[in-house]
């Protein structure tokens, strides 16, 4: 299996373009539990350019009814990125100081319930993010009310 670099600039450019709007190529899940992870998946896809079409456990979007749970669910995306050994993007958990633009931060409670996935747009040294559901562009991570955060560093992208 070959590997290509994750294009962080493309992921951030996509985030900047669509943070305050909706790409008509994708369904808006706002009224179905939130659109944050759908938006983050779109950003990752902009930087990866490849999906994993493995049924159930992969990471892909063809339509609102033909997609994996990992495309739109916070925990499912985490599980895919951390455990993916096949085609597509993969990640590892890093400390906040290691996070880079194009990486993902997931916000949660002390009990380990993660509920929000913004994409990092800048490290200035403050971390700025873009997100859907409560649409944000270059919002300081410190302005969110959360108990714990996990930072997912996209390591690269595997191709076939």
User: Can you point out the beta strands (E) in 38-109?
Assistant: 61-63, 66-67, 88-94, 104-108
Specify the pLDDT at position 30.
Answer: 87
Give the rounded distance of the alpha carbon of 24 from its chain centre. Answer: 18
pLDDT in tens, the chain (160 residues): 899 999 999 999 999 999 999 999 999 998 888 899 999 999 999 999 999 999 999 999 999 999 999 999 999 999 999 999 999 999 999 999 999 999 999 999 999 999 999 999 999 999 999 999 999 999 999 999 999 999 999 999 999 8
> Can you give the pTM of this predicted structure?
0.97
SS3 129: strand
The C-alpha angle with vertex 92 and arms to 86 and 98, in degrees rounded to 5, equals: 145
SS3 21: coil
Write the CB contacts of 38 (distance below 8 Å, at least 6 apart in sequence): 26, 27, 28, 29, 61, 71, 72, 132
Alpha carbon distance 54, 48 (integer Å): 16
Which of the 8 DSSP states describes residue 83? Answer: H
149's enclosing H/E stretch is strand 148-159
């Amino acid at each position: 299996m070959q590997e290509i670099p994750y294009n962080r600039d493309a992921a951030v450019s996509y985030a900047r373009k669509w943070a305050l709007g909706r790409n008509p190529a994708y369904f808006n899940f706002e009224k179905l539990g939130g659109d944050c992870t759908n938006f983050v998946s779109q950003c990752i896809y902009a930087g990866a350019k490849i999906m994993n079409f493995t049924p159930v456990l992969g990471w892909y979007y063809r339509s609102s009814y033909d997609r994996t749970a990992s495309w739109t669910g916070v925990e499912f995306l985490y599980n895919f990125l951390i455990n993916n050994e096949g085609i597509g993007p993969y990640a590892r958990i890093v400390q906040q100081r290691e996070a880079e633009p194009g990486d993902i931060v997931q916000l949660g409670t002390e009990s380990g319930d993660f509920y929000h996935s913004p994409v990092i747009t800048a490290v200035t040294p403050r971390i700025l993010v873009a997100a859907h559901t409560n649409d944000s562009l270059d919002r300081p991570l410190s302005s969110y009310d959360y108990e714990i955060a996990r930072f997912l560093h996209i390591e690269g992208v595997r191709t076939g």
